[in-house]
Chain A
Amino acid sequence: MTQQQRLLHETVDNVFKEMAASAPPCQSAGDFKSQWLTLENLGIDNLFMPEELGGFSGSWGDARIIFYLSGRYGIALPICETIVAKKLLLDLNIPIPKGPITIGMNNPKCPILRDDKSTEPTFSGVLDDVPWGSQSETVLTVCDNQAGSVSVLLQCQDGQIIGGRPNEAGEPRDNIKFDKARILGIAESQQPSQQLIEIGAFMRASQMSGALDSALQLSIMHTKNRQQFGKPLSKFQAIQQQLAIFAEECAAVNCATLAAARSADLGDSTFEIAATKLRANRSVGAATSIAHQVHGAIGFTKEYDLHRFTQRLWSWRSEFGNDRFWSKHLGQQVLAAKKEGFWQLVTSRSDTNTAKSTS
């Protein structure tokens, strides 16, 4: 971490810590709005924006810190989605609106309709499982086209919520139907629509790293305090060995997200993000099982905080690509590189220290 990143970590840590401590068990629309304004006033959502536009000119390494901390404290706001959406809008030269912006990616084939050449294009189709769709102002989605992809910014209220259900942690995941909806911003790009799921996967994996660390910390604290058979649980080898495995999983995911951020900042992280999200997904089973096991019944209660992290981990494992999706995707990348070989693939990627020029 650079000195600047340490400062960013410290600042955001304090904000999120306070927010988590005062978070009501059931969030109302009013709570959402006031919490959102706190973040917006601090400009956390403008991480990637240039300084002259009130931002920090942040990097993916900086973004990982915020994603990690939002997972670490279980922040129930689309702050990570908004940071990502603003970065994409910035790169696409689409004017950036205020308020929470979410990303919708489950249906990239939605057509963009143009009634005739004289009228403005409109968007029709359904975006499934949009994170915080019902509480965000706008949604950015990406559709495939001949050139690569076309990104479209829509007003959430122009659509109709036709279903969806909250994820395992109660975070809204909404299906929004748009019918000839007006388009607030549109841009074509050579990047395939795949880019959106990759960025989302990096974001979720980094949040998972934070949630894993919190669940581990709670497990360590609980086993040190809870006495059975006349001594703290943490003194039993059976418990120690389990928590060591848990810590290894946390370390692996943490390391993977750091390395993926480094590659993203160098301009090409297709391989690293696939590996990172898959590794993060695969950590969830062992980690959540150990966390609940060492807690016993208390970890199973509404009152105790563990579920804020384990429920999110169970959800995020599926979001922006589950194991099936990324193992196939990564397997295909490895098999496609057969000629140069796997070893050449991984070593050449980490031997590079200079950014690829992105035009």
Chain B
Amino acid sequence: MKSFEFTPVNMPDDVPKLRANVRKFLAKELAHKQAPDKAKSWSGFDAEFSQKLAEQGWIGMMWPHELGGSEATALHRYVVIEELLAAGAPVAAHWIADRQSGAHIMRYASDEVQKRFLPAIADGEMYFCIGMSEPNSGSDLASIKTKADRVDGGWVINGSKIWTTYAHRSHMMIALVRTTPEGESRHAGLSQFIIDLSAEGVRIKPIIDHQGEEHFGEIFFDNVFVTDEMLLGKEGDGWAQVNSELALERSGPERYLSSYRLFEELLGSLEENCDDITTATVGEIAADLWTLRQMSLSVAGQLADGKDPSLEASMVKDLGACFEQTLPNLVQAQLGGSIPLDRANNLNETLSYILKASPAFSLRGGTREILRTIIARGLGLT
């Protein structure tokens, strides 16, 4: 049996200082934020906040100095982002660029392309979105139809992407497209491009979700020209590249903290001596949260050591999403008793938002079913 590795992490000695600095910054910047805004977690978009965060050097932290980074370790970055999430900071504007697009560019793009994008990302001024899903391709990502055809000096892209988070507020997209028609291997002939969303032929239509929020959208490409240097990595290597991008997308603390603010609001509404059932519910939530954090930290530690914990990351994401979805159920089930019922208070407003946001937690970034298939493969079942 394959054994999964979850060795505990020893945090670097200067972590408490960094944590204190982040908290001081957040206490000031989030002072005016209301509970329902904080509940949005990494779906909350605030360009001004992203720029202030950048001024602290907390975007692109791991990148070289000359590209706008501070050459921090993966664990230092982990501490910053978990503090942002725990506090309910509006990080969505720069989130994808910082988490995956930038790292991806660092790994696969030329020096010139790196210089063009990374400092702007680290300044909190350039935002990326992810071009994976299409109208007829969700979990079956290799079935995408958007294509790039070679022309003089570059490529012409036609097709569309959908469910793209903050498509309408991003500057750039890293898109997976077909560069040769689907042949015997479905995974061959795919490539990744950086696409400027202000280019001619790009049309973006926001999609309103069932809460009435506009956080994702559909993007149409009609003969959009991109230069050769916007091909990321190698032509035809898109499948392997997109999987390494997904590993970055699946391994962070946002995969168990999406509804964390609800726990904070719950604790904030309780007295120390509350009824036994509510106390036990707090204990259950705490045990799950603590365990998930240990798992998530261990994955971060392995990444920092240059290992490939993609199976472990899939486990944390699936368990994490289940927890994020259970949390609002547990809280709703315990309303009344020691928990105030007033529907206008912070707890109830946070609950209302998270209940409705929660179905997405096990869809975005790889569905629960896909993750479990990856884990089953790791167990040697497939």
Residues of A within 8 A of B (CB): 1, 213, 216-217, 220, 223-224, 234-235, 237, 239-241, 243-245, 247-248, 250-252, 254-256, 258-259, 262, 271-272, 274-276, 278-279, 282, 323-324, 326-336, 338, 341-343, 346-348, 350-351, 353
Contact = CB atoms under 8 A, between A and B. Distances in A.
B87 to A, nearest CB: 8
A328 B293 contact: no
Give the contact-size bracket for chain B.
35 or more
A271 B290 CA distance: 10
Interface string B273-291: 1101011111110111111
Contact of A235 (B274, B291, B372, B382): B382
B295 interface: yes
Given A255-B298, A275-B290, A334-B267, A353 B13 contact: yes
Contacts of B297: 350
B373 interface: yes
A241 B8 contact: no
Ranked nearest first, the 6 interchain pairs of A and B with the lowest CB-CB distance are A331-B283, A255-B6, A327-B283, A240-B376, A330-B283, A244-B372
Contacts of B371: 244
A213 to B, nearest CB: 7
A353 B9 CA distance: 9
Given A254-B4, A332-B283, A334-B283, 14 more contacts: A234-B382, A235-B381, A241-B376, A243-B381, A247-B379, A251-B319, A278-B283, A279-B291, A328-B276, A328-B280, A335-B279, A342-B289, A350-B293, A351-B19
B209 interface: no
B287 A335 contact: no
B263 interface: yes
B15 A351 contact: yes
A51 to B, nearest CB: 26
A326 to B, nearest CB: 7
A140 B32 CA distance: 57
Nearest to B372: A244
* Secondary structure call for the B interface: helix
A153 B362 CA distance: 53
A342 B286 contact: yes
Contacts of B369: 241
B363 interface: no
Contacts of B375: 244, 247-248
Contacts of B19: 347, 351
B243 interface: no
A351 B16 contact: yes
A220 B283 contact: no
B253 to A, nearest CB: 11
B86 interface: yes
Contact of B272 (A243, A251, A324, A338): A338
A330 to B, nearest CB: 4
Contact of B381 (A217, A220, A252): A220
Nearest to A214: B1
A224 B280 contact: no
B280 A331 contact: yes
